[in-house]
């Protein structure tokens, strides 16, 4: 049952650059980038019930790491740059996750919000490394002898990486680790009583979430080609939260759907910047009041009849 | 650095600190009733101040009337939000209500921008511009006025919480909702009253601070510092909110004198991270105990 659907989806993704105009190829790459962030955030918020308003900070760490690696060592394979971005963000996630173990609920949300602000301020001030407010131009991604200089090439890179991340997430949530994270969401105390090592798994959730977002950041750097600190403000973090709320907390396909809906919506509202937050806010409120569980649970209900 | 200059910095720190304290109090009032953080607090402040300003710009009424209009608008806004949005979601997790207030803050800021543009407007002040000289120390009347008015308002709130039926009902609901209900308190009325009261306190803070930071659709961001102040003092505690607010205001004003100016904007967030790491219960709070 599932394989034909996956095959059709894969064929659609491969065929997209031939069917769509170049701009929509670029847009599709952004959808993939945001979907990876949404999955990472959902592993933390949806699965482990730790709300983060600082994922734009992790995205910035990943993006700047990849960009700086690619600038310092020209010709470095894009895979290495992405891996460095992932590791850099994961390290920051570890550094933030361990002290955040003491926090829950609102406190955690606020600590991560503060983290996001501090990252942006750090980027502005570390001019020797990040060029501050002037922005950083990202060199073309290289894979061995090829330069990924076109939107189509970068799109395929994003799709390949994205597919791997989705596959990994789908498998992760079915393992012992995934079940431990779900147990923590339902009740920390019950989970602990059943032998789930709370500190270990909550930190792990933070690190994995940061790692996902770091990879997305690296892709973002190469797809967009130019980084500046104001692209990573707190409203981006809010957008990520909106993606998983609209898509569905605790669902990998839901994360992808939410990222797709909000990214496309965001883009189609580009000419109406003043109305964008109005619509996003209304969408958040409406999903909470009328569609708790997001797109994922709405689809599940439709299937169930 | 002379003592006179230091006094000046501390007094202006206490002035911004008073506003943070008022914001912290509004957040705590709502938290105590509905167990959630109101992300839209700053935007509610901004909208009520704008309504007052519109009346002022149209009719040139005295400032007291402007303040009254802002207060009435705030009360109405708080009541409507609680009845229409929050009451429906209150049965679900606090997480849901948090997201709703987050959405609300986006909607209000955007709607205010569409109605009144995103420009900054100069707002009239109750207090004159002529500095008051005490020996070598020169103080700005605005700072002293803000501190005085805030202290008066805090005293009023203290009286409300200790000496009125409504205040006692609100404290009972904060302690234990089920027990409060069994004692015959209408918890729903306390929800409404809390949102109205928090919104009104916010509007007064807005009218006080608008002459200093200008009136704009972005002024709601002051609520973030209000939250940091509440955490600094121990979230949920009213005296903690006041102490935390004053402390944050003074730290924020003093820090640039001793630290590189480039980290000025990060100071409140660094304070937040530090307090959460060292003493998550706040300076006045006790470590939270979890009941199974």
A121:B96 CB<8 A: no
Question: Which residues of B, range 58-87, sit inside 8 Å of A by Cβ?
Answer: 85
Which chain B residues are closer than 8 Å to A238 by Cβ?
A: 102, 106
**Backbone phi, psi, residue A138, to 5°:** -95, 130
B228 and B208, same domain (yes or no): no
| pLDDT above 70: residue B92 | no
Task: Calculate what percentage of chain B has a pLDDT beyond 90.
Answer: 17
Q: For residue B48, tell me if it sits in a domain.
A: yes
Instruction: Assess whether B210 and B238 both reside in one domain.
Output: no
A188 CA to chain B: closest CA distance, Å?
A: 10
- Residues B244, B108 within the same domain: no
Q: Where are the domains of chain A?
A: 23-232
Does B13 map to a domain?
Answer: no
- 3-state SS class at B285: coil
B110 to A283: CB separation less than 8 angstroms, yes or no: no
Q: Which of B98, B105, B113 sits opposite A274 (nearest CB)?
A: B113
Range of the domain at B198: 23-217
Answer whether residue B269 is part of any domain. Answer: yes
Largest CA distance in chain A: 59
Segment B230-272, tens digit of pLDDT: 888 888 788 888 999 999 999 988 888 887 776 777 888 888 8
Whether residue B157 sits in one domain with residue B179: yes
Q: How many domains does chain B have?
A: 2
Residue of B88, B99, B263 lying closest to A284 (CB–CB) = B99
Last residue of a domain, one of B183, B199, B217: B217
Closest CA to B211 of B24, B16, B75: B16
B103 touches chain A (CB under 8 A): yes
Q: Choose from A284, A290, A291 for mutation: most chain B CBs within 10 A.
A: A284
- The Cα-based distances of B9 to A247, B250, B251, B269, B282 in angstroms read 48, 8, 10, 20, 24
- Structure tokens that stand for B150 in this block: 């805030």
pLDDT in tens, A75-88: 788 888 899 999 99
pTM, to two decimals: 0.86
**CB spacing of B276 vs A278 below 8 angstroms:** no
Is B6 inside any structural domain?
no
Give the domain-ending residue among B190, B217, B244: B217
Query: Given an 8 Å threshold on Cβ–Cβ distance, is A280 in contact with B103?
Result: yes
Residues B209 and B234 grouped into a single domain: no
Confidence of residue B290 (pLDDT cuts 50, 70, 90): low
The string of pLDDT tens digits covering residues B14-58 is 988 999 999 999 998 988 888 788 889 989 999 999 998 888 888
pLDDT at position A56 over 90: yes
Q: Flag if B263 and A125 touch (Cβ within 8 Å).
A: yes
Residue A208 clears pLDDT 70, i.e. is over it? yes
CA atoms in the 13 A half-sphere facing the CB of A87: 7
Report the residue from B95, B114, B263 with minimal CB separation from A51. B95
State whether residue B267 sits within 8 Å of chain A by CB: no
In angstroms, the separation between the Cα of residue A190 and the nearest Cα of chain B is 9
pLDDT of residue A103: 76
Q: Is the residue at B5 inside a domain?
A: no
The verdict on B226 and B135 lying in the same domain is no
CB within 8 Å: B273 and A125: no
Q: Give which of B218, B208, B192, B199 is closest to B77, Cα–Cα.
A: B199
Q: What is the pLDDT of residue A66?
A: 92
Residues B107 and B169 in one domain: yes
- Enter the ipTM: 0.81
Q: How far apart are CA A132 and CA A227, in angstroms?
A: 10
- Position B1 scores a pLDDT of 64
């Amino acid at each position: 049952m599932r394989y034909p659907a996956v095959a059709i989806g894969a064929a659609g993704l491969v065929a997209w650059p031939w069917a769509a105009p170049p701009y929509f190829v670029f847009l599709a790459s952004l959808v993939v980038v945001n979907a990876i962030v949404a999955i990472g955030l959902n592993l933390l918020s949806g699965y482990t019930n730790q709300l983060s308003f600082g994922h734009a900070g992790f995205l910035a760490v990943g993006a700047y790491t990849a960009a700086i690696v690619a600038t310092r060592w020209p010709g470095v394979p894009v895979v290495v740059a992405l891996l460095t971005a992932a590791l850099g963000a994961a390290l920051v996630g570890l550094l933030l996750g361990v002290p955040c173990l003491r926090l829950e609920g609102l406190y955690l949300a606020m600590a991560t919000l503060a983290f996001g602000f501090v990252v942006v301020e750090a980027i502005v001030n570390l001019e020797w490394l990040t060029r501050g407010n002037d922005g950083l131009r990202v060199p073309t991604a290289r894979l061995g002898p090829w330069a990924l200089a076109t939107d189509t090439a970068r799109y395929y890179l994003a799709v390949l990486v994205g597919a791997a991340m989705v596959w990994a997430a789908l498998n992760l949530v079915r393992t012992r680790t995934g079940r431990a994270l779900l147990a923590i969401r339902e009740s920390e105390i019950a989970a602990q009583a059943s032998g789930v090592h709370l500190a270990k798994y909550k930190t792990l959730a933070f690190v994995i979430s940061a790692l996902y977002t770091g990879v997305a950041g690296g892709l973002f750097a190469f797809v967009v080609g130019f980084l500046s600190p104001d692209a990573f403000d707190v409203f981006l973090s809010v957008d990520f939260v909106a993606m998983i709320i609209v898509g569905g907390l605790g669902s990998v396909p839901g994360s992808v759907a939410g990222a797709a809906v909000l990214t496309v919506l965001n883009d189609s509202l580009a000419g109406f910047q003043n109305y964008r937050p109005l619509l996003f806010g209304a969408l958040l409120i409406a999903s909470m009041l009328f569609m708790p569980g997001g797109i994922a649970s709405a689809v599940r209900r439709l299937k169930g009849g | 650095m002379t003592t006179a200059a230091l006094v000046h910095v501390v007094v202006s720190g206490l002035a911004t600190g008073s506003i943070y304290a008022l914001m912290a109090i509004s957040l705590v009032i709502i938290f105590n009733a509905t167990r959630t953080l109101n992300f839209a607090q700053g935007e509610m402040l901004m909208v009520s101040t704008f309504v007052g300003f519109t009346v002022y710009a149209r009719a040139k009424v005295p400032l007291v009337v402007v303040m009254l209009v802002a207060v009435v608008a705030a009360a109405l806004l708080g009541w409507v939000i609680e009845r229409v949005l929050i009451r429906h979601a209150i049965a679900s997790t606090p997480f849901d209500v948090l997201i709703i207030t987050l959405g609300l803050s986006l909607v209000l800021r955007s709607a205010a921008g569409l109605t009144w543009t995103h420009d900054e407007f100069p707002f009239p002040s109750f207090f004159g511009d002529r500095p008051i000289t005490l020996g070598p120390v020169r103080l700005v009347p605005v700072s002293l006025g803000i501190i005085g008015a805030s202290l008066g308002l805090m005293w009023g709130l203290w009286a409300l919480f200790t000496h009125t039926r409504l205040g006692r009902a609100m404290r009972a609901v904060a302690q234990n909702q089920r027990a409060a209900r069994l004692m015959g308190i209408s918890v729903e009325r306390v929800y409404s009253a809390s949102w109205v009261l928090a919104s009104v306190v916010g509007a007064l803070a807005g009218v006080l601070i608008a002459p200093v930071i200008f009136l704009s659709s972005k002024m709601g961001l002051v609520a973030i510092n209000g939250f940091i102040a509440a955490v600094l003092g121990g979230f949920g505690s009213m005296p903690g909110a006041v102490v935390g607010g004053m402390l944050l205001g003074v730290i924020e004003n003093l820090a640039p004198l001793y630290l590189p100016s480039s980290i000025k904007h990060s100071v409140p967030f660094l304070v937040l991270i530090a307090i959460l790491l060292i003493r998550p219960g706040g300076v006045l709070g006790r470590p939270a105990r979890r009941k199974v």
